[in-house]
Amino acid sequence: MKNTLLALSLTAITPALAADSKPCSSLLDLEVRHLASDEAVNLCQAYAGKVLLIVNTASKCGFTPQYAGLEALYHKYKDRGLVVLGFPSNDFANQDPGSEAEIQQFCRLTYSVEFPMFEKVSVKNGTAAPIFERLAAAGAPYPKWNFYKYLIDRHGNFVDYYISTTAPDSAKIMKKIEELLTAP
**Active-site hit among 24, 44, 61, 107:** 61
166/31 Cα distance (integer angstroms) = 28
Bridge partners for 84 per DSSP: 53
Please give the backbone phi and psi of residue 40, each rounded to the nearest 5 degrees, phi first.
Answer: -115, 150
> What are the start-end ranges of the E strands in the chain?
31-33, 40-42, 51-57, 82-88, 149-152, 158-162
Please answer whether residues 147 and 106 qualify as being in contact, where contact means their C-beta atoms are separated by less than 8 angstroms: no
Asked if 24 is an active-site residue, the reply is no
Please answer whether residues 71 and 159 qualify as being in contact, where contact means their C-beta atoms are separated by less than 8 angstroms: no
Active site residues: 61
